């Protein structure tokens, strides 16, 4: 298996396979053909066969895929076979919502700390985790080997905070700010640009009503 | 101008152009060349010229783009030259965070109502908007001609709620649930699949540390 050769487009489809395979497991389904998987997931059967061929012999002609084995393999590829230590930076509306979101814990994302620069928020406890002052962020990341920061600051603090995170040895930044971050080599980021997503919706909405 | 011919990939880049052009306007920049725009936005200059050529003559050889005119045109294409009436369905963590998010108002997304099926939440006021019971959702959408619903229910209620929204004449659904919705023809949706985005981050994070 040579993961380095897998295209980004395939990688971005993997979490969706993972989700549907989880649901099939919950329903007690042991095996599924690419054509039945196609019906529920919405990719073509040939797309599915092509995608999953990247990861070796999970499909058997005439027998379909072993749901549990495929689920485990995809989870491993996505790096879900381990724990991640996370912090939230910015205890505003989005930061607080993420702190309370129960799915992260279930998937082994352990929220270690929440940081904010607003003295009124310091000491508040959100979902059992205390809000600490921003000045402690760098030392905390180093000391606890934090893997991922959920970046939920305002726009003006985003890049400056990202610089601190990078310099402190963070490995990944999940970016909820409306800023495209400049990051140190080796630090990865994924962006949730809410407003941009909403504007795409309004574009398509107006196309429909023409 | 034939918008129907513009590829989805270009459309998905437009909100980013819109964001950077807003920033340039804030900085008082009147004109910008494709090569300077390339430096700040991170797309190649030829990509930018190609993208913006879709929308007619905004670039003038040797003179660059008129920032304000281009910004206005992109805003119009994205449908940002009008107001949208919105509701939030599901007053959990994400729903509450969206209700408090100030940028929507600024871009003329008017939050009209919040709906939930939890009797303990009914009557609560979030950012000046009252939480109403789910049973009133359908009539409310019809009566007030709601354009867009922000769908923030739990997983099990998602499709059922989407059906009600479609039957009540909603035009767009901004979907925060981890469900791929089946929608009536003519209703558009954009998805924020948080967990899937996070799993993509862990994939790339693990590639980096190999």
Per-residue pLDDT of A175-192, as tens digits, reads 999 999 999 999 999 999
pLDDT-derived band at B1 (thresholds 50, 70, 90) equals very low
Distance CA B24, CA B18 (A): 10
Mean pLDDT of B14-34: 95
Give the pLDDT score at B58. 62
Q: Give Cβ neighbours of residue A37 (< 8 Å, ≥ 6 apart).
A: A20, A45, A48, A65
Give the closest-approach CA distance of B183 to chain A in angstroms. Answer: 13
Q: For residue range B130-139, what is the model confidence (pLDDT) as tens digits?
A: 999 999 999 9
Average pLDDT, chain B: 93
The tokens 């997983």 sit on which residue? B155
Q: What tens digit of pLDDT does each residue of A63-101 get?
A: 789 999 999 999 999 999 999 999 999 999 999 999 999
> What pLDDT is attached to residue B2?
45
Reduced to 3 states (helix: H, G, I; strand: E, B; else coil), residue B53 is helix
A195 touches chain B (CB under 8 A): yes
The pLDDT of residue A62 is above 80: no
Query: Which of A199, A208, A209 best probes binding to B when mutated, by most B CB atoms within 10 angstroms?
Result: A199
Cα dihedral A193, A158, B25, B5, rounded to 10, equals: -20
Q: A190 vs B172: CB contact, 8 Å cut-off? A: no
* Greater model confidence, B3 or A10: A10
% residues pLDDT > 70 (chain A): 94
d(CA A77, CA B16): 30
For the cut 70, the answer to whether the pLDDT of residue A174 exceeds it is yes
Contact B42 A206 (CB under 8 A): no
Contact A78 B16 (CB under 8 A): no
With tokens 């981890």, the residue in question is B178
Burial (0-12, 13-18, 19+ Cβ within 10 Å), A147: buried
Alpha-carbon distance A139 to A193, whole Å?
28
Q: What phi and psi values does residue B169 have, to the nearest 5 degrees?
A: 95, 20
A58 Cβ under 8 Å from any chain B Cβ: no
**CB contact at 8 A, B114 and B126:** yes
* Contact state of A4 with B203 under an 8 Å Cβ cutoff: no
Chain B residues close to A209, C-beta within 8 Å: 171
B209 vs A: CB within 8 A: yes
Per the structure block, which two tokens stand in for B20? 């950077």
Percentage of chain A surpassing pLDDT 90? 84
CB contact under 8 A, B93 and A77: no
CB spacing of A186 vs B208 below 8 angstroms: yes
- What is the pLDDT, as a whole number, of residue A1? 44
**DSSP characters for A65-113?**
EEHHHHHHHHHHHHT-SS-EEEEEE--SHHHHHHHH-THHHHTTEEEEE
pLDDT at A210: 75
CB within 8 Å: A201 and B11: no
pLDDT confidence of residue A134: 95
List, for residues B73-113, the tens digit of each pLDDT value: 999 999 999 999 999 999 999 999 999 998 899 999 999 99
Query: What residues contact residue A102 under an 8 Å CB cut-off, 6+ apart?
Result: none
pLDDT value, residue B60 = 62
pLDDT bucket at A59, cuts 50 / 70 / 90: low
Q: Which residues pair with A65 in a beta bridge?
A: A32, A59
Per the CB < 8 A criterion, the answer to whether A155 and B106 are in contact is no
**Neighbouring C-beta atoms of residue A76, cutoff 10 Å:** 13
The overall pTM is greater than 0.90: yes
Q: pLDDT digit string (tens) for A195-204?
A: 999 999 999 9
pLDDT at B141 over 50: yes
Nearest-angstrom CA–CA distance, A158 and A108:
26
Flag if A199 and B103 touch (Cβ within 8 Å). no
Which of chain B's residues have a Cβ under 8 Å away from the Cβ of A207? 3-4, 188
Q: Is the pLDDT of residue B66 over 80?
A: yes
Task: Please enumerate in sequence order all residues whose Cβ is within 8 A of that of A141, keeping only pairs 6 or more positions apart, or say none.
Answer: A87, A149, A165, A168, A169, A170
Nearest CA in chain B to A15: B196
pLDDT mean across residues, chain A: 93
ipTM summary value: 0.94
């Amino acid at each position: 298996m040579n993961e380095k050769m897998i295209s980004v487009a395939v990688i971005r489809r993997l979490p969706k396979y993972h989700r549907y395979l989880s649901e099939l497991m919950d329903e007690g389904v042991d095996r599924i053909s690419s054509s039945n998987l196609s019906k529920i997931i919405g990719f073509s059967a040939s797309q599915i066969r092509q995608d999953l061929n990247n990861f070796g012999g999970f499909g058997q002609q005439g027998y379909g895929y072993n749901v549990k084995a495929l689920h485990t393999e995809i989870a491993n590829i996505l790096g879900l076979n381990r724990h991640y230590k996370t912090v939230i930076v910015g205890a505003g509306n989005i930061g607080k919502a993420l702190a309370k979101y129960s799915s992260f814990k279930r998937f082994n994302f352990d929220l270690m700390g929440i940081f904010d620069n607003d003295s009124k928020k310091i000491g508040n406890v959100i979902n059992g985790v205390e809000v600490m002052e921003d000045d402690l962020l760098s030392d905390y990341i180093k000391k606890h080997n934090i893997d991922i920061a959920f970046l939920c600051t305002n726009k003006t603090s985003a890049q400056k905070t990202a610089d601190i995170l990078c310099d402190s040895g963070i490995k990944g930044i999940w970016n909820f700010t409306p800023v495209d971050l400049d990051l140190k080599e080796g630090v990865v980021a994924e962006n949730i640009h809410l407003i941009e997503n909403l504007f795409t919706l309004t574009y398509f909405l107006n196309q429909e009503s023409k």
